[in-house]
Chains A and B, each alone.
Chain A
Amino acid sequence: MVSLNKNILRTILIASYIMIVALIISGVSALFSYLNTGADRSTMLHTEIKKVDQYAPKMDWEPLQNEGRPMDDQTLNAIQHDYLDAWYVKQIAYKSNKTAGIKDYYTDSARKNLFDFIDLNKAQGISIEATTLHHNPTLEYFSQDGQLAVITDRNVVEYKRVFKAKELILETTETSTYQMVFLLEDGFWRIRHLVKDKADIYNNEPQQIEVNSLNIKGINYYPQANPWNMFGDEFSAEIIATDFKIIKDAGLNSVRLFVQYEDFGKEHVDAKKIEKLKQTLDAAEANNLKVVLTLFDFFGDYSVMNWTLNQRHAEAVVNAVKDHNALLAWDIKNEPNLDFESRGKDNVIAWLDSMIDLVKSTDPMHPVTIGWSNTESASILKDKVDFISFHYYEDLESFDSAITTLKAEIPNKPLVLQEFGISSYSGFWKPFGSSDEDQANYHKKIQEQIAANKLQFMSWTLYDFTDVPTAVVGSRPWNRNTQKHFGFIDKNGTKKEAFQYISKQ
């Protein structure tokens, strides 16, 4: 008995000894391999050069009629590339009051002037956040040896935000004309002389578009199977066409669709997504529905430095579908007022303002709106948009008074109640939620109120969804489950009670 116990003891001792040694060895080896990791040796060679677009304002070159040597496309591209980089590093330098990058794009004598400004601004705590939105360069002269070029850039639209002691003191948009001498040094087209010839305050009064005939009776649409991922791999033109028929048959005349910023490829818009979008618009046209297209969904970066990239995105999308018969209006952004707190109210509004200008200049035919999430924000930029859109998920009791207030603020533009609805979810996560009947009553009531207030409307939404991405309402189950039950048709395809009030016939 004693020897057995001893043996057990021995076994345990030896086993624990082996375990400890194994642990120590694995620990040491983990440390050793950690210390051996480092940069991949191939990266030392800088063999891969990733070209990232950082700054892409609209460039409209005047036809080439320059003096001197005839210009070729490749050189012109190189000059344009370095010219835009010169603007970009300058914007970064004035924002941060640091000189990084300046020396690549300005010659020795020219960069001194920038450094002077940086010193001046740094000493007084001034920083300037700026971007340029539109350039109209003309090549004036290109030297015979291909080393010197003179360019006049007329009516450059410059947006600036001036900060002193981190406080915004001025927001301004200017148009300026610059004359520049470029020298090819070390493979860079560097700015040697820079002279601003003309400077004015930018005053763009966009054309208001006739909206008297606008009569939106519509619905926000996502397919039942792939909400918030409509143009993904599960895209099906047939399902969309069927749904559009249901919508048309229900007496509605329009749908609101969403173009997601990242999903559509950011500044390099994905042609496949555009193709799917066009198929969707074709389906709408076939069913005699009009489409309000909401841009910049799932987008939250309004930083001035990226405006040009955002604008290239919008420009590509707008250009792709602006001539489509089904298109009714552009909705610049869904509920931008929700970003006021995190991104700065004036920043967001300035972004919207310049984006409206861009969309209107790209497509002068279709009206533009912004889908505000409540009636309080709806009067922001009311003079820029062609009609006012707002969402209402609050108590119906205060609906009429909210509309009265809004109408007093904006007497002259159509009001579109662009999102409204109620979830019929009542279950574990929300025991006192609404029932299908409550939902039906809600739609019956609000339709009466819409009619009484002579509003146009787009309800939320056609289907109950089985899955709602966390990006939409967060990951809290009570929110996600609620969001799943806003539809007029449940997940089995059965029309819910509320369906009869989808439109007031």
Chain B
Amino acid sequence: MQIKHTYLLLLGLILLSSFTVIQETEVASTEIKLISTQTEFEVGQPVVLTFSTSSEVQIDLYCSNSYGSTVISSSLKNNTLEFSIPETITKKIGAINWTLLDDNKSLSGKLHILPKPEVAIMETYIGPPSIESGGKDFTTLVVIPTDSLDNPVPTHTLVIAKFQFLDSEEGFDIFTKNLIAYRNIYSKPESGRMLVSSESLGINSKEYTINVMPAIPTDFEISATRPHDYADGNQVTTFWTTIIKDEYNNVVSDGTFVTFFIKNGKGHILKTTGTTIDGVANSKIIHPDFADNWNIKAYVDGMSESNRISLSYKQVIKDFNVEFSEHNRLIEIGPLQSFMGQMIPDGMHIKLKIYRNNSLVNTLTKTSFNGYTSFKLKPAIYENGHYNFSIETAGLSKEFNSIKLW
């Protein structure tokens, strides 16, 4: 009986105590007040928010900055709730908004982490890295001075942009706005290398280089050199440009591509190309193998052109012999002789056209060797009968009609 009473008493006590615990938490939430008054802090400084509270309950604080949000636990001392804002948040500039996570979430506010006028790194972006001379083209220097905690400096911080080009050295005052400071750098008439640097609050950036390239080429002249003026199909004619310059008298960049267009006597176009070194481009082409007149003009595609020059080539082979033998199936051509009577250098083209019943049967092409060449007409291919032949070389042509093959 005794034991039963004790149990009942104990149970009753436990029940009672649980009620009191619940009541305590319900009462708690009231009367929390913000004590801290400072709302602006320099970046990197510790930030502590304090609240006075009448209860002993730990409350969390939500806070959010530029990069993210988190929840901070409090420390409770003498009815004062203290929240020390983590370094992750205090080391970045910008607004922080916070809300106290009590039951009705009525307390909220803002803090500002201010940038400090201190530069650790001159974050520099410059581009494009090469520009055209002449004063129309420009490159841009963008500087973001940042402090040791990787924050941009305050708006309207002075940045000095410094440029060196040939014998001029200049400095410009620019100011940060929208996190950055920038200056457009226009080219000068001359080409060359421009060195760029910047300075803010006593800290200097690295040296950056801008290539000021010559502007587009202006018109130029061409000339030709050749060992002789004979159309021997063997020697080489070289075309030269004068020094190609832009409108500001800068020699164009090495590698400027020049195309020489050659129009021959038949109106056909031949083409040869070269690239400039020190403004001069040259290009070579082999002589024609028949008398011809060439008209030559050079272009830098889409930009500039040269004058027009003309060259004429003299015929070297005046005449040639043709002999038929072995049932007229072996045709020997030669000697092919050049301007001094010397044998034409090997490789002269000889074309044999074979006709039967006035229709072209075949065209055979061979090159000369030691001034001679020969064609052999095989009976298996060219049946016995009458054929017409036409032989062409060096712009000359000879015809042989009704030659009987047997």
Pairwise interchain contact B95-A193, C-beta atoms closer than 8 A:
no
Query: Which residues of chain B (35-73) have a CB below 8 Å from chain A?
Result: 60, 62, 64-71, 73
Taken together as a complex, chains A and B put the C-alpha atoms of A149 and B88 apart, in Å, by 26
Pairwise interchain contact B69-A94, C-beta atoms closer than 8 A:
yes
Q: Does A147 contact B (CB under 8 A)?
A: yes
Pairwise interchain contact B108-A201, C-beta atoms closer than 8 A:
yes
Pairwise interchain contact A199-B64, C-beta atoms closer than 8 A:
yes
Pairwise interchain contact A195-B105, C-beta atoms closer than 8 A:
no
Residue in A closest to B146 when the chains form the complex, CB atoms:
A193
Given contacts A109-B150, A120-B70, contact A195 B179 (CB under 8 A): yes
Pairwise interchain contact B127-A143, C-beta atoms closer than 8 A:
yes
Residue in B closest to A181 when the chains form the complex, CB atoms:
B179
Measured CB to CB, the closest approach of chain A to B103, in angstroms, equals 11
Query: Which residues of chain B (123-138) have a CB below 8 Å from chain A?
Result: 125, 127-129, 138
Q: Does A292 contact B (CB under 8 A)?
A: no
Q: What residues of chain A lie closer than 8 Å to B65, measured between beta carbons?
A: 196
Residue in B closest to A174 when the chains form the complex, CB atoms:
B97
Q: Does A124 contact B (CB under 8 A)?
A: yes
Stretch at the interface among A32-40, A77-85, A164-172, A330-338: A164-172
Pairwise interchain contact A141-B60, C-beta atoms closer than 8 A:
no
Q: How many A-B residue pairs have CB under 8 A?
A: 126
Q: Does B99 contact A (CB under 8 A)?
A: yes
Interface bits A129-162 vs B (CB < 8 Å: 1, else 0): 0100000000011011101101010000000101
Taken together as a complex, chains A and B put the C-alpha atoms of A113 and B150 apart, in Å, by 10
Pairwise interchain contact A144-B95, C-beta atoms closer than 8 A:
no
Query: Which residues of chain B (163-185) have a CB below 8 Å from chain A?
Result: 178-180, 182, 184
Taken together as a complex, chains A and B put the C-alpha atoms of A179 and B152 apart, in Å, by 11
Interface bits A334-369 vs B (CB < 8 Å: 1, else 0): 000000000000000000000000000000000000
Measured CB to CB, the closest approach of chain A to B17, in angstroms, equals 26
Measured CB to CB, the closest approach of chain A to B132, in angstroms, equals 13
Q: What residues of chain B lie closer than 8 Å to A178, measured between beta carbons?
A: 66
Q: What residues of chain A lie closer than 8 Å to B180, measured between beta carbons?
A: 141, 148, 150, 181
Pairwise interchain contact A147-B86, C-beta atoms closer than 8 A:
no
Q: Does B287 contact A (CB under 8 A)?
A: no
Taken together as a complex, chains A and B put the C-alpha atoms of A162 and B128 apart, in Å, by 45
Taken together as a complex, chains A and B put the C-alpha atoms of A113 and B151 apart, in Å, by 11
Given contacts A150-B178, A199-B96, contact A164 B71 (CB under 8 A): yes
Measured CB to CB, the closest approach of chain B to A299, in angstroms, equals 29
Pairwise interchain contact B69-A162, C-beta atoms closer than 8 A:
yes
Interface bits B81-95 vs A (CB < 8 Å: 1, else 0): 000001010001111
Q: Which of A68, A113, A183 touches B88 (beta carbons < 8 Å)?
A: A113
Pairwise interchain contact A144-B62, C-beta atoms closer than 8 A:
no
Q: Does A417 contact B (CB under 8 A)?
A: no
Taken together as a complex, chains A and B put the C-alpha atoms of A120 and B85 apart, in Å, by 12
Taken together as a complex, chains A and B put the C-alpha atoms of A160 and B127 apart, in Å, by 40
Q: Which of A148, A152, A195 touches B125 (beta carbons < 8 Å)?
A: A148
Q: Does A71 contact B (CB under 8 A)?
A: no
Q: Does A208 contact B (CB under 8 A)?
A: no
Residue of A128, A169, A192, A199 ringed by the most chain B CB atoms within 10 A:
A199
Given contacts A179-B179, A193-B152, A195-B94, contact A117 B68 (CB under 8 A): yes
Q: Does B158 contact A (CB under 8 A)?
A: no
Interface bits A95-122 vs B (CB < 8 Å: 1, else 0): 0000000000000010011101110110
Taken together as a complex, chains A and B put the C-alpha atoms of A121 and B94 apart, in Å, by 20
Pairwise interchain contact A195-B93, C-beta atoms closer than 8 A:
yes
Q: What residues of chain B lie closer than 8 Å to A148, measured between beta carbons?
A: 125, 142, 180
Taken together as a complex, chains A and B put the C-alpha atoms of A270 and B215 apart, in Å, by 54
Residue in B closest to A201 when the chains form the complex, CB atoms:
B108
Q: Which of B68, B95, B179, B182 touches A198 (beta carbons < 8 Å)?
A: B95
Pairwise interchain contact B70-A196, C-beta atoms closer than 8 A:
no
Given contacts A114-B67, A150-B178, contact A199 B110 (CB under 8 A): yes
Interface bits A173-203 vs B (CB < 8 Å: 1, else 0): 0101011010100000000111111111100
Pairwise interchain contact B66-A194, C-beta atoms closer than 8 A:
yes
Pairwise interchain contact A199-B140, C-beta atoms closer than 8 A:
no
Query: Which residues of chain B (100-153) have a CB below 8 Å from chain A?
Result: 101, 105, 108, 110, 125, 127-129, 138-140, 142, 144, 150-152
Pairwise interchain contact B66-A195, C-beta atoms closer than 8 A:
yes
Pairwise interchain contact A121-B70, C-beta atoms closer than 8 A:
yes
Q: What residues of chain B lie closer than 8 Å to A109, measured between beta carbons?
A: 150
Pairwise interchain contact A196-B94, C-beta atoms closer than 8 A:
yes
Pairwise interchain contact A199-B95, C-beta atoms closer than 8 A:
yes
Pairwise interchain contact B70-A144, C-beta atoms closer than 8 A:
no
Pairwise interchain contact A169-B101, C-beta atoms closer than 8 A:
yes
Q: Does A126 contact B (CB under 8 A)?
A: yes
Q: What residues of chain A lie closer than 8 Å to B69, measured between beta carbons?
A: 94, 117, 128, 130, 160, 162
Q: What residues of chain A lie closer than 8 Å to B150, measured between beta carbons?
A: 109, 112
Q: What residues of chain B lie closer than 8 Å to A121, measured between beta carbons?
A: 68, 70-71
Pairwise interchain contact A144-B139, C-beta atoms closer than 8 A:
yes
Taken together as a complex, chains A and B put the C-alpha atoms of A113 and B108 apart, in Å, by 24
Taken together as a complex, chains A and B put the C-alpha atoms of A201 and B108 apart, in Å, by 9
Pairwise interchain contact A113-B139, C-beta atoms closer than 8 A:
no
Pairwise interchain contact B71-A124, C-beta atoms closer than 8 A:
yes
Pairwise interchain contact B88-A120, C-beta atoms closer than 8 A:
yes
Measured CB to CB, the closest approach of chain A to B364, in angstroms, equals 51
Taken together as a complex, chains A and B put the C-alpha atoms of A480 and B22 apart, in Å, by 48
Query: Which residues of chain A (7-47) have a CB below 8 Å from chain B?
Result: none
Residue in B closest to A142 when the chains form the complex, CB atoms:
B140
Measured CB to CB, the closest approach of chain A to B336, in angstroms, equals 60
Pairwise interchain contact B60-A143, C-beta atoms closer than 8 A:
no
Q: What residues of chain A lie closer than 8 Å to B138, measured between beta carbons?
A: 144
Pairwise interchain contact A179-B70, C-beta atoms closer than 8 A:
no
Pairwise interchain contact A140-B95, C-beta atoms closer than 8 A:
no
Q: What residues of chain A lie closer than 8 Å to B152, measured between beta carbons?
A: 181, 193, 195
Taken together as a complex, chains A and B put the C-alpha atoms of A197 and B65 apart, in Å, by 9
Residue of B62, B67, B94, B152 ringed by the most chain A CB atoms within 10 A:
B67
Taken together as a complex, chains A and B put the C-alpha atoms of A124 and B108 apart, in Å, by 22
Taken together as a complex, chains A and B put the C-alpha atoms of A277 and B178 apart, in Å, by 47
Taken together as a complex, chains A and B put the C-alpha atoms of A170 and B106 apart, in Å, by 12
Q: What residues of chain A lie closer than 8 Å to B105, measured between beta carbons?
A: 170
Pairwise interchain contact A150-B179, C-beta atoms closer than 8 A:
yes
Q: What residues of chain A lie closer than 8 Å to B144, measured between beta carbons?
A: 181, 192-193
Q: List 12 A-B contacts (CB under 8 A).
A: A114-B68, A121-B70, A145-B129, A145-B140, A169-B71, A170-B71, A179-B178, A193-B152, A195-B92, A195-B151, A199-B110, A200-B97
| Closest CB pairs A-B (n = 3) | A145-B127, A117-B68, A196-B66
* Extra contacts besides A143-B142, A176-B95 (6): CB < 8 Å: A94-B69, A113-B68, A116-B67, A120-B70, A144-B127, A176-B97
